[in-house]
Structure 1
Amino acid sequence: MQDLVSLLPILGIFLIFWLLVIRPASRRQRKLQAVQRALQVGDPVITGSGVFGTVRSIDDDKVRLEVAEGVVLTVARQSVVGVVEDEQREHQDPVADDTETPTTHEEQ
């Protein structure tokens, strides 16, 4: 009986660890897998490295993302971490057009 009582603190620590660390991590993993399985062509997504793009095609383990007009990247399906909501897309800064250069006129 005393042996059982001495194991209670260890079991309590394990239970707390499971509730605070393992359980939430497994929930996040299941949610991420559900997002990756539900991907559809045309979805705006973000990858784990922070690349925003639009899904152009989906294979078993690869996704082709259009990140700019005419620029398509092939990434692992597991690298897609979320679908970007319209609200998040509005907050993205538009890419500056590098073709326009300011002109300065110096009068002499």
Structure 2
Amino acid sequence: MNFALMGGIILFMWLFVFRPQSKRAKEQKEFLSSLTPGIEVITAGGIIGTIVEVKENIVSINVGGSTMRVVKSSISGRLDASSSIPATK
């Protein structure tokens, strides 16, 4: 009985915690690798800008006439073309 309960808990954790977390991490990694100049993005700090240049770990974004360099991992999402609200999946 104890082993069945432990097995159930492990299965629950894998299905509802670990698997979705790894799926989100994979999607974020794919998103970051697909960044190209011209895409409008939002950073984790809430800064909205258009990508000008993409290097290995640094992204240059144009924000109101100024160019900012940010760490690639701080880009949290792409903005929808029709609004200033981040696109959701």
TM-score bracket, shorter-length normalisation: 0.7 to 0.9
> Shift in Å at residue 6 of structure 1?
2.2
Q: Name segments (4+ residues, structure 1) moved above 3 Å.
A: none
* Structure 2 residues not aligned, in runs of 5+: none
* Structure 1 residues not aligned, in runs of 5+: 92-108
TM-score for the superposition, normalised by structure 1: 0.73
Identity of aligned residues (%): 27
Q: For residue 61 of structure 2, what is the aligned residue in structure 1?
A: 65
User: Distance in 2 between the 1:21 and 1:87 partners?
Assistant: 33
Q: For residue 35 of structure 1, what is the aligned residue in structure 2?
A: 31
> Shift in Å at residue 87 of structure 1?
2.5
1:77 maps to 2:72: yes
Aligned residues: 85
User: Distance in 2 between the 1:59 and 1:28 partners?
Assistant: 23
For the pair shown, the structure with the greater C-alpha radius of gyration is: 1
TM-score for the superposition, normalised by structure 2: 0.88
Structure that is richer in strand per residue? 2
1:15 to 11, 17, 21: 11
User: Distance in 2 between the 1:18 and 1:88 partners?
Assistant: 36
> Shift in Å at residue 67 of structure 1?
1.2
